[in-house]
Amino acid sequence: MIKKLIAVSGLATAALIGATANAGDVEQNCILKGVVNKAAAADRGLNVYVDFKSAKPATRRASCDLSRGEALKADTDVLQKINNLPHGTRVSYEYTLLSDQTTEWKLLTPDL
């Protein structure tokens, strides 16, 4: 699998590396909201840069305990979708971290 990197600033800084979620108990389930910043990506020599402004639990019972600067993993499909979005696009993702440390990302907005 080809590894790709994406930087995400603000609430969670992420080096998103190719990974897929298979099965396991959910450890974190968050709704992340942010903005695609192509200028910051170019300044840093990255394909994509997302400034996540907020992280909230996806449900009332969900745990969402992300720290500023925490690295997050994502699969190649997620990276490609983000890379294709224009500068300034507001994005919302449901981010799930499973007990086996695999992740799932579901793009909520914009609806592609």
Q: Quick one: tokens of 32? A: 């992340």
Distance between CA atoms of residues 7 and 27, nearest Å? 22
The CB density around residue 65, as the number of other CB atoms within 10 Å, is: 11
Q: Quick one: tokens of 111? A: 């609806």
Whether the model pTM is above 0.85: no
pLDDT tens digits, residue range 83-102? 889 999 999 999 999 999 88
pLDDT surpasses 60 at 73: yes
Q: Where are the domains of the chain?
A: 7-109
- Identify the band that residue 36 occupies on the pLDDT scale cut at 50, 70 and 90: very high
* Mean pLDDT across 15-38: 72
Whether residue 91 contacts residue 29, with contact meaning beta carbons closer than 8 Å, is answered with no
pLDDT surpasses 70 at 78: yes
Handedness of CA 9, 108, 76, 65 (dihedral sign): positive
- Identify the band that residue 51 occupies on the pLDDT scale cut at 50, 70 and 90: confident
Distance between CA atoms of residues 71 and 52, nearest Å? 12
Tokens 């609430």, located at residue: 11
- The helix/strand/coil state of 39 is helix
